[in-house]
Amino acid sequence: DKSLVWFRRDLRNFDHAALHQALAQSRAVYCAFVFDKEILDSLPRQDRRVSFIHACVAELDAALRAAGGGLIVLHAHAAEAIPRLAAELGVDAVFANHDYEPAAASRDAEVATRLLAENREWLSFKDQVIFERDEVLSLSGKPFSVFTPYKNAWLKMLHATESVSLAPHSVEPAPEQLAVPPQCHALPSLADLGFEETPPPVPAGMSGGQALFDDFMPRMASYDRTRDFPAIKGPSYLSVHLRFGTVSIRGLVRQALAGVRMSASGAATWLSELVWRDFYFMILHHHPRVVERAFRPEYDAIEWESGPHADEMFQAWCEGRTGYPLVDAAMLQLNQTGYMHNRLRMVTASFLVKDLGIDWRRGERYFAQQLNDYDLAANNGGWQWAASTGCDAQPYFRIFNPVTQSEKFDPEGKFIKRYLPALAPLSAKAVHAPWLSGMQVKDYPPPIVQHDVARKRTLERFAVVKKSS
Ligand code: FAD
């Protein structure tokens, strides 16, 4: 009869599984969002993501109001607040979309138990991925742990089920079906939440997601040729929108498929990235232990550098002071904007683990604090890939050379110079490794490790894995 839709990482009012289902099954539908103290309390008071979410929530509230309803916004511990709100409103059921992170899954289980104790239902739906959990399995019925066969099976499944898998979950409330929120639950300001205003990193909300997609659309066909060069506008920059669900994954896959059908090679490559996204959610669902440990247990035997020297190295990496220009420029991009180009995420992660010998989990945590698009599944997957500890990771003896990567992917040093103006006078040849040309650059440090030496040490460090397997 009456229901409540709890919005989390799905901040839109179109193509929304839970909202669609609630509207189909109930006479009156309330909508709510919780600024969860459980999460917010641990964040610094200036956090780009909180500003971004706040702007998204404001836009969602306005859109729901325009349709006759509005958003109930709470600042509380969600696991208690949602059942309490459900009781206050007298709803029969709470609708939400699946979340695959272990902490979120146990929070949802707690909410479901509390609701059940009061005879209310908890109903949740697949929304943020195309295929989840056990939907794509190997021929022997097991979850995949290698990407390429997973992707092939994923594509096969998509082609077989496209009309269902990609169908939008329409949101068309009848007049007065969306319930008006009680006045006491209006949207608090950022200051009310205890945060300072920081300009959102990219245009926020559904409108921001749409604007970024419109900008990317004409570039999609050439994505395969441009995606690896951080100095040019190659990728979509949609990750933060995918993270908070201001865009619909079904909508994006439909557009990518349309591109594939017009034989745009870039579209196929971009679609593949969206499959990686599903892949890592699936891995996290089946192997929640990866949050703490290596996907491949034998890699937990590796001894990482520790102590004051390692701490200093780690700090230099965080602050972009390693003396390797591409690594440093990338870290500055992260620190200044909250975004880092995918090629550079691979290069900086590899540098931390295989040049500095530092535990991948420290880098993973740093990225988690800084990235606007921080997503446990993709971040953990990316780090374990770079550290060679993950499923389908790069082999441990493949070690990126930070100078060669720089020459290849930022050949003129344009990206480097954007973030490191001290290197502006250097030639395109010298900028990748200033020390090689015997140059002492003012305001730029010499390299903190020698790559060749570090490489050898890494091969020794990882040798325990070979012995144990
Ligand atoms: P595009 O190139 O336009 O790709 C489109 C979308 O595909 C992305 O928005 C993203 O949702 C998805 N995608 C692309 N590559 C991957 C990938 N390798 N794994 C999973 N999904 C992918 N991505 C995050 O969303 N959050 C993270 O916290 C994150 N941490 C990472 C850490 C490391 C060490 C590495 C190597 C990669 C990480 N990635 C992460 C994946 C990737 O770097 C980003 O998704 C991408 O750079 C975002 O930019 P974009 O939206 O312009 O991507």
59 lines ligand 1 (CB under 6 A): no
Distance 340 CA to ligand 1 centre (A): 9
312-345 pLDDT, tens digit each: 999 999 999 999 999 999 999 999 999 999 999 9
Q: How far is CA 202 from the centre of its chain?
A: 15
Residue 333, domain member (yes or no): yes
Task: Decide if pLDDT at 469 tops 70.
Answer: no
154 and 266 part of one domain: yes
- CATH code of the domain containing 315: 1.10.579.10
343 and 437 part of one domain: yes
279 lines ligand 1 (CB under 6 A): no
Other Cβ atoms closer than 10 A to 189: 10
Residue 6, domain member (yes or no): yes
Those residues with Cβ within 8 angstroms of residue 267's Cβ, 6 or more apart along the chain or in another chain? 220, 221, 223, 256, 257, 258, 259, 260
163 and 302 part of one domain: no
420 and 347 part of one domain: yes
- Residues 391-408 as b/e (b if ≥16 CB within 10 A, e otherwise) read bbbeebeebbbbbebbbe
240 and 382 part of one domain: no
- CATH code of the domain containing 86: 3.40.50.620
Residues with a catalytic annotation lie at 273, 276, 304, 342, 360, 383
253-283 pLDDT, tens digit each: 999 999 999 988 999 999 999 999 999 999 9
Range of the domain at 432: 297-468
90 and 120 part of one domain: yes
- Per the DSSP assignment, residues forming a β-bridge with 75 are 35
Residue 199, domain member (yes or no): no
User: Of 178, 191, 382, which Cα lies nearest the Cα of 280?
Assistant: 382
- CATH code of the domain containing 213: 1.25.40.80
278 lines ligand 1 (CB under 6 A): no
Distance 239 CA to ligand 1 centre (A): 6
108 and 32 part of one domain: yes
158 lines ligand 1 (CB under 6 A): no
- Per the DSSP assignment, residues forming a β-bridge with 28 are 2
Residue 173, domain member (yes or no): no
Task: Decide if pLDDT at 394 tops 90.
Answer: no
d(CA 287, CA 142): 13
d(CA 305, CA 25): 56
Residue 181, domain member (yes or no): no
30-84 pLDDT, tens digit each: 999 999 999 999 999 999 999 999 999 999 999 999 999 999 999 999 999 999 9
Ligand 1, pocket-test mutation among 148, 213, 342, 391, most atoms within 8 A of CB: 342
- Domains contained in the chain, number: 3
310 and 394 part of one domain: yes
ipTM value greater than 0.85: yes
**pTM for the full predicted model:** 0.98
Show which of 78, 112, 128 is a domain's final residue. 128
Q: What angle do CA 115, 118, 124 make, to 5 degrees?
A: 25
Task: Decide if pLDDT at 440 tops 80.
Answer: no
Distance 166 CA to ligand 1 centre (A): 21
61 and 20 part of one domain: yes
260 and 282 part of one domain: yes
